[in-house]
Amino acid sequence: MLKTLKTFYAFLFKKRAVAVLFLIVVVASSVAASIQPYFYKLFVDAIPSLDFQKLLYILFAYLGIRILSLILDSSSFFLGDVLTIDASADLRETVFKHLHDLDFAFHTDKSSGSLISAIKRGDGAFWNFYFSIHYRLIDVLVSFIVMLYFFKALDLRIFILVIASFLFALVVTYFFIKGNIKTRKNVNKLEDRISGVIVDNMINFETVKLFAKELWERLRLKKVDRDWKAAVWKYVLTFRGLDIGMGVVINTSIFLLFLLALRLTVSGELTIGDFVLVVGFSGSFYPKIFELVWGFRDLAKSYSDIERYFGLLDYQVKVKDPKNPVKPRGIKGEIEYKNVSFSYEDKQADAIKNINLAVREGQSVALIGRSGVGKTTLVKLLMRFYDVDQGSITIDGINIKRFTKSDLRSLMGVVPQEPVLFNNTVGHNIGYGKVGVTQKEIIAAAKLARIHEFIETLPKKYDTKVGERGIKLSGGQKQRVAIARMILSEPEIIIFDEATSQLDSESEKLIQEAFWKASENKTTIIIAHRLSTVMRADKIVVMDEGKIKETGSHRELLAKKESLYRHFWDLQIKLD
């Protein structure tokens, strides 16, 4: 709880001067509102004197307090908005940045729907937290202190009874809220699962339709909903129990307080004005205990949400930037893997073992082999999605750990195995490769990637939306958009991850021509299952079981009768 509050106020109170003024105004506003029942006593005590002048002074003082209360109340909301609007945006941007900073492994393990749900709920919880603490809890606390001040001067027995009833109400609230937080966390987990199912379906709706799985997916959601409803009922019942329990406590407290005040008034120990004071303060304060309960209730709900939200900031970055990074100036693109071994956390076996590989400046190297032999892992290590367990990787003789991850990746242009496009225009997706890109540059890159002619046939040409994840485009079209984007980034190192695996023969030929032209004099790494893609590579690296088995040119490897490359080549010819 303390950690959550510390994080909350670290963002909310960044503007220290405004924060101090805000707290002063909030307290002053509560004081001004709380002392108003005292004027009822003054009126009752003054009426028997029939002194109209005195009554008029009291009336104007009462009016002044009400106006002051209104001004302070409005000011507190304004100052709170000044703090909270900026703090909410700052927190959201901080979480967003941190999620970007987190390692590749974090995002492969987490559900997008779960993260979206946590951020959305947490953002709302931040506002609820702010409101419940500063406009409910503080108001009740200040009202209680003001009432105690007057009751202590009035009668010690009333003073003690009020304290006892208030403390008892807090104890009852504590036990209900404790159970409420526990049930809320369970509701949150199930809502994350619901979000995960829905987002998963929205992203992969084409697959759902292709396999006619609509009913199966609805049943999948229904199953999670069944668990969610059971959890929500437990959560709701803690509220109903709290409402009933507090209703009994508050009404009993008011009854006992009035009973005591009546007895003291009848015995002459209190005046009628004093009794009116007790009634006035009781009438204004005890309903606020319900406000306190609702405040705690909202805090309990918001606490679970905001704890999950802040918890995103607790995930540690494992692949860290160096404290004193080297700026990658004049990079030529010479890459070397030195005795590199690596295994994924969830697997015992090494993904790659003792890899030694040198790629000269401007050289094209093709990595081939069966699925899962470590080809893509080599590229992920080069881009520092993961850090090597043993050995080192250098670019131009500099260990890649000496570059920031952002600077390192800016050296590389990547065409992934499955290009993912933004739900934006074709032009936006191509232009994403370069900051401040012009339309002329976008068109030039599209022409080089052999996608320009297709774009010209679209209804809005370069302003045509591609849909979620590029769903409106074919696999080959998405591939060529990704290649155009890569070309625009003007990288020193080009990486093709099975870049032509989805293309028809004609498109493949066009792309290969564009690719080899774009990669002239640039260090290039190609990962492909289709050997026709890699025939022109300067060096072919054949991998098996995480190790390099063979290296050489296409001709050199074909000349070896028992080579693994020759085996792959013969299989390809038979398939073709």
Q: Is residue 301 part of a domain?
A: yes
Residue 161 clears pLDDT 80, i.e. is over it = yes
Whole-angstrom distance, CA of residue 65 vs CA of residue 86: 32
In which residue are the tokens 């232009």 written? 431
Most confident segment among 197-206, 284-293, 376-385: 376-385
In which residue are the tokens 């509560």 written? 30
Residue 336 clears pLDDT 80, i.e. is over it = yes
Residue 499 clears pLDDT 60, i.e. is over it = no
Those residues whose C-beta lies under 8 Å from the C-beta of residue 338, and which sit 6 or more positions away, are 356, 391, 392, 393, 394
In which residue are the tokens 């890109």 written? 437
Q: Which two tokens stand for residue 210?
A: 């292709």
Residue span of the structural domain in which 70 resides: 2-314
Please write the tens of the pLDDT for every residue from 18-48: 999 999 999 999 898 888 888 888 888 787 7
Please write the tens of the pLDDT for every residue from 362-402: 898 999 888 888 888 899 999 898 889 899 999 999 999 99
Q: Is residue 567 part of a domain?
A: no
Q: Is residue 113 part of a domain?
A: yes
Cβ atoms < 10 Å from Cβ of 550: 18
Average pLDDT rounded to a whole number, residues 144-157: 86
- The pLDDT value given to residue 557: 85
Residue 56 clears pLDDT 70, i.e. is over it = yes
Whole-angstrom distance, CA of residue 56 vs CA of residue 62: 10
Higher-confidence residue of 546 and 476: namely 546
Number of domains in the chain: 1
Residue 553 Cα distances to 492, 514, 533, 536, 560, angstroms: 23, 21, 13, 8, 11
Predicted confidence band at 484 (pLDDT cuts at 50, 70, 90)?
confident
- The pLDDT value given to residue 544: 87
Whole-angstrom distance, CA of residue 269 vs CA of residue 286: 24
Residue 2, classed as helix, strand or coil, is helix
Report the chain's mean pLDDT, rounded to a whole number: 84
Q: Is residue 347 part of a domain?
A: no
Please write the tens of the pLDDT for every residue from 406-425: 889 889 888 887 777 888 88
CB 192 within 8 A of CB 114: yes
Going by C-alpha positions, the residue among 119, 248, 142 that lies closest to residue 188 is: 119
Whole-angstrom distance, CA of residue 477 vs CA of residue 483: 10
- The pLDDT value given to residue 398: 92
Dihedral sign, Cα of residue 328, residue 331, residue 333, residue 337? negative
Residue 337, classed as helix, strand or coil, is strand
Q: Is residue 283 part of a domain?
A: yes
Q: Is residue 143 part of a domain?
A: yes
CB 431 within 8 A of CB 442: yes
Whole-angstrom distance, CA of residue 181 vs CA of residue 194: 20
**Within 13 Å, how many C-alpha atoms sit on residue 191's CB side?**
19
Predicted confidence band at 248 (pLDDT cuts at 50, 70, 90)?
confident
Predicted confidence band at 576 (pLDDT cuts at 50, 70, 90)?
low
Burial class (CB within 10 angstroms; exposed 0-12, middle 13-18, buried 19+) of 157: middle
Going by C-alpha positions, the residue among 419, 483, 498, 423 that lies closest to residue 451 is: 483
- The pLDDT value given to residue 503: 58
Residue 209 Cα distances to 196, 198, 215, 470, 471, angstroms: 18, 15, 10, 17, 13
CB 437 within 8 A of CB 428: no
Range name among 158-162, 196-200, 233-237, 520-524 with the lowest pLDDT average: 196-200
Cβ atoms < 10 Å from Cβ of 112: 13
Q: What percent of the chain has pLDDT over 90?
A: 11
Whole-angstrom distance, CA of residue 511 vs CA of residue 499: 9
Please write the tens of the pLDDT for every residue from 465-475: 887 667 777 77
Start-to-end CA distance of the chain, whole Å, equals 65
- The pLDDT value given to residue 502: 53
Those residues whose C-beta lies under 8 Å from the C-beta of residue 69, and which sit 6 or more positions away, are 29, 32, 33, 36
Please write the tens of the pLDDT for every residue from 273-284: 888 888 888 877
Q: Is residue 459 part of a domain?
A: no
Q: Give the helix ranges, DSSP H, for 133-213.
A: 138-154, 156-203, 205-210
Q: Is residue 118 part of a domain?
A: yes
**CATH number, position 42:** 1.20.1560.10
Which amino acid, residue 402?
Answer: R
- The pLDDT value given to residue 469: 67
Q: Give the helix ranges, DSSP H, for 325-393.
A: 375-382
Cβ atoms < 10 Å from Cβ of 34: 24
Whole-angstrom distance, CA of residue 62 vs CA of residue 45: 15
* DSSP summary character for residue 313: G
Cβ atoms < 10 Å from Cβ of 281: 28
Average pLDDT rounded to a whole number, residues 284-299: 76
What does residue 358 show for φ and ψ, rounded to 5 degrees? Answer: -115, 135
